[in-house]
Amino acid sequence: MQLLARRDATLALIIAALVAAIVWRAPVFASAGNLDTVLNDGAILTIMALAQMHALVTRGVDLSVGAVMALSGMLAALLSRAHPELPALLAMGVAAGSGLLLGAANGALIAGLAMPPIVVTLGTMSVYRGLVFVISGGAWVNAHELGAGFLRFPHERLLGLTWLTWIGVLVVAVCYLSLHHRRAGRELYALGGNPAAARYLGIDVARRELGVYSITGALAGLCGYLWVARYAVAYTETALGFEMQTIAACVIGGVSIRGGRGGVVGCLLGATFLVVLFNALPVIDVSPFWQMAISGATILVAVALNARGERRRSPSGRAGRTSIARGAPTAAAGAKAT
Amino acid sequence: MSPAALSSPAALSLTGIEKRFGGVQALAGVALEIRAGQVLALLGENGAGKSTAVKIMTGVHRPDAGQVRIAGEVAELASPEVARQRGVAAVYQDALSFDDLSVAENLFMGHLITRRSGWAPRRGGWLDWKAMRSRAAAVLQSLEAEIDLDTPLGALSVAQKHRVSIARALTHDARVLILDEPTAALSSREVDDLFRIVRRLAAGGTALLFISHKLDEVFSIADRYTVFRDGRHVVDGLIAEADEASLVRAMVGRAITQVFPKATVEIGAPLLEVRELGNDVEFDGVSFTLNRGEVLGFYGLVGAGRTELMEALFGLTRPTRGEAAIDGRAIGRSPGESIEHGLVLVPEDRQRNGAFAALSIRENVALPSLRRLGRGPFLDEQAEERLARQVVERLAIKHASLSQSLSELSGGNQQKVVIGKWLATDPRVVILDEPTQGIDVGAKAAVHTFIGELVARGVGVILVSSELQEVMGVADRIAVMREGRLVRLIDRPDFDAKVIAASALGAGHESTALGAARGEAALGAGAPHPTEKEDAASRAS
């Protein structure tokens, strides 16, 4: 935990340095309008990165979050098109509720049939994306077809910040409390850190997994509505590939893809870093073609640093590394603890 | 063991070896000689430097000072590759294995035989399966192992895998073979088979180094011994001239007067009652009662169904019939419920089934007690901290801070945290599954003392152990299991090694059972006579 905190501090400093450098090159980045964009983009990525972290911490992954966002967002949009007078909160509830069901279906397959999360969610990713075509007939739902309240809600302001930003803040707070200060959260770390040992603690693994994927689904549904309302369009490719960004934010934030490690603060910082980077690159005139390569390279650097940190901490790390470097089988066996 | 063999030259020797890791002096001048045609036992507590010495002999580590000699010449074992080429091979307890590859592939992994091909003149990429298969067949035959070369390794039993590991060493003409805790996972009959192979290899001129915590095995297989303590060489000599007490003294640096201190505690009212428990596959018709303050030993061969029975009691698996209750309240539906009723299971493979490496010491200790420690809907970190501090102090766990992650502790201290977290739940019944397997004499004594403390507080303890000496030393009653059935319940006054071992093995093996012979010899007062034991061993085989 101490090391995690130190890592968070380092990442915060890097983000601060990055922002300073960007503002120095392009002062427009610090304008109120641009910061608002950063916060609004950041809210959605942060919420989804936190959702993804739930899955990663338990040694799983949810690849279907982008598709759930598209499907739930489309459901909410179709509802709004049919009944433009309905309040935005109802549309949001429908989106989150449908996401919850889609996520619970993932969870049921993973926990009930003991299938690997990566396989299940890879499958449902296609199924859910396909369902967007089915329910929309492949057509877009455009701004003028959506209810005014539906579109306005995320942009309305409270104390100077948009509701979109406030929802992000709320999700961060709830995740922080539930993951770090409640039994259920602690048990997710135990489950991901050592699944075999978790059984001996009486942790109901199936129930926890069902819960995790229900949460990722519900948050994806919520973000589906937010996304559609923010960009004022629902179509079959909404949030296509977004699941990769959520994983990237987690990894940059120090969440281990091998489970059991990672925190809400780090995850928030990881998402912030990515959003700052994505928003800054066009501002400082980096070609869009380079943007993906640069964000990819960042992820590799973060993973390399994580791996180094983890190795340095374990006493057996030294022997382990020697044997891997030499690649000889006897050495690997020799790495057995003294 | 002819006089000529005793004076044979050292196939491999260490002199004045020193090795530091950071601030820790792992080896501070050790020496040993492994001679051709002999078995040298390397003895010492955990942390005495045995494994480091092995790693130096196999080229994994380079010594800071001192010399490694092979057949009298100074050798620079710069890498495991070099060590292997010089004929040094090691077989480890958790044998390196690629479960999805075939036996043949496992045998040659790392030193695959290759050949030239017509259109690829450089030697390198082309595997010569014909050569490998014939070599493998010959080696396996020499080990009396009838194992199909194409079977995936994962399908073999532990004993067969061991055979493959040894065969692997032989496929590259090992002249020095190191066996590191080779018997830990083997049943007594499999141990007999292994020892027969070891004797044959020795007779063929191989130099063997045998590392084991089980002294009775050392007496039955080794010719000579070397004792390490705290990274130093303490003493060496002929096994025939040694006795158990002097070896233990040399290992721990003090005389352990009673290896198994038995706490005398008044046995109270019935606590745990098990009636006709069975699951159709691994165990059936098991009934017993555990009383307050009692240690009930469960003895049996590996595979007798003891671990499976305990897992069902704890609720990890569902029995198909029978019932179990603590104070009349049914248990066994789920681990969570068992813990609430005061039943905890400290599993056999504590690293795998108990350690949460990424979590802190505090979080590890608190995990099973979270329900109790909560403050409303939230966790109470101060209460966790207090609990962890108690455990850490009571078990003398060496640590820098309670928020250190478990992976930063040494292996021994990690084990203590794992055991400690169960104690912190304030249990009424504790099941300990092989709690002393693979740990050294000092740590073992600590575990036994600790069992004494538990029963003194009125806790009922179930001790599952494959070590007859231990069960007989610590238990008030012994339940013997064989093939899934509880075949015998014996009270302490009637403890008899022969009877217990015979019950575990089943009728028909009673006169020839080496298990019985080993148990008896180990229990005999004073020094067991090695030649007698060897006779018993060879009769048994």
CB atoms within 10 A of CB B458: 17
Residues of B whose CB is below 8 A from A196? 352-353
Q: How many domains does chain A have?
A: 1
Nearest CA of chain A to the CA of B81: how many Å?
7
B438 — pLDDT class (breaks 50, 70, 90): low
Residues of A whose CB is below 8 A from B371? 183
Q: What is the pTM of this model?
A: 0.71
| Cβ–Cβ under 8 Å, residues B81 and B101 | no
Residues of B whose CB is below 8 A from A333? 90, 92, 94-96
Q: Please work out, in degrees rounded to the nearest 5, the angle formed at the alpha carbon of residue A56 by the alpha carbons of A50 and A57.
A: 90
Residues of B whose CB is below 8 A from A256? 358
The β-bridge partners of B68 are B14
Residue type, A277: L
| Domain extent at residue A218 | 36-240+256-269
Query: Nearest Cβ partner of A328 from B79, B367, B410?
Result: B79
Compare all CA atoms of chain A with the CA of B410 and give the residue at the minimum distance. Answer: A315
Nearest CA of chain A to the CA of B202: how many Å?
22
Compare all CA atoms of chain B with the CA of A321 and give the residue at the minimum distance. Answer: B60
Superfamily of domain B258-342+427-510: P-loop containing nucleotide triphosphate hydrolases (3.40.50.300)
Compare all CA atoms of chain B with the CA of A323 and give the residue at the minimum distance. Answer: B60
Asked, for residue A317, whether it belongs to a domain, the answer is no
B516 — pLDDT class (breaks 50, 70, 90): very low
The answer on pLDDT for B420 being more than 70 is yes
Per residue in A276-323, pLDDT tens? 888 888 877 788 778 778 878 887 887 787 777 666 554 443 333 322
- Select from A200, A204, A326 the residue whose CB has the most chain B CBs within 10 Å, as the one to mutate to test that interface: A200
Residues of B whose CB is below 8 A from A3? 405
Residue B297's pLDDT is 92
The DSSP annotation for B389-418 comes to: HHHHHHTT---S-TTSBGGGS-HHHHHHHH
Domain B9-87+174-255 CATH assignment equals 3.40.50.300: yes
Residues of B whose CB is below 8 A from A2? 401, 403-404
Question: What is the rounded average pLDDT for all residues in chain A?
Answer: 84
Compare all CA atoms of chain A with the CA of B373 and give the residue at the minimum distance. Answer: A183
Asked, for residue A288, whether it belongs to a domain, the answer is no
- Select from B84, B334, B405, B409 the residue whose CB has the most chain A CBs within 10 Å, as the one to mutate to test that interface: B405
Per residue in B134-169, pLDDT tens? 888 888 887 777 788 888 888 887 777 878 888 887
Asked, for residue A158, whether it belongs to a domain, the answer is yes
Question: Is there a common fold for B9-87+174-255 and B258-342+427-510?
Answer: yes
Q: Is B356–A322 a contact, with Cβ atoms under 8 angstroms apart?
A: no
Strand ranges, E, within chain A: 141-142, 157-158, 161-162, 233-234
Q: Is A334–B339 a contact, with Cβ atoms under 8 angstroms apart?
A: no
Q: Is A300 left (phi over 0), alpha (psi -120 to 50) or beta?
A: alpha
Nearest-angstrom CA–CA distance, B170 and B256: 39
Better pLDDT: B305 or A221? A221
Asked, for residue A103, whether it belongs to a domain, the answer is yes
Question: How many angstroms from the chain centroid is the CA of residue B382?
Answer: 37
The answer on pLDDT for B538 being more than 60 is no
Instruction: Supply B405's token pair.
Output: 């992650």
Q: Is A189–B363 a contact, with Cβ atoms under 8 angstroms apart?
A: yes
Asked, for residue A16, whether it belongs to a domain, the answer is no
Per residue in B388-404, pLDDT tens? 998 888 777 778 888 88
Nearest-angstrom CA–CA distance, B195 and B159: 12
A117 — pLDDT class (breaks 50, 70, 90): very high
Per residue in B343-381, pLDDT tens? 999 888 777 888 888 888 999 999 888 888 877 788 888
Residues of A whose CB is below 8 A from B352? 194, 196-197
Query: Which residue ranges make up each domain of chain B?
Result: 9-87+174-255, 98-173, 258-342+427-510, 355-425
Asked, for residue A143, whether it belongs to a domain, the answer is yes
Residues of A whose CB is below 8 A from B374? 183
Asked, for residue A321, whether it belongs to a domain, the answer is no
Q: Is A200–B356 a contact, with Cβ atoms under 8 angstroms apart?
A: no
Pairs of residues, one from chain A and one from chain B, whose beta carbons lie less than 8 Å apart? 154
Asked, for residue A250, whether it belongs to a domain, the answer is no
Q: What is the mean pLDDT of residues A45-52?
A: 95
Q: What is the ipTM of this complex?
A: 0.77
Residue B185's pLDDT is 66
A121 — pLDDT class (breaks 50, 70, 90): very high
Q: Is A196–B357 a contact, with Cβ atoms under 8 angstroms apart?
A: no
Q: Is A330–B95 a contact, with Cβ atoms under 8 angstroms apart?
A: no
Residue B254's pLDDT is 56
Nearest CA of chain A to the CA of B453: how many Å?
23
CA dihedral B406, B409, B411, B415 (to 10 degrees): -50
Q: What is the mean pLDDT of residues A143-170?
A: 85
Q: What is the mean pLDDT of residues A109-124?
A: 92
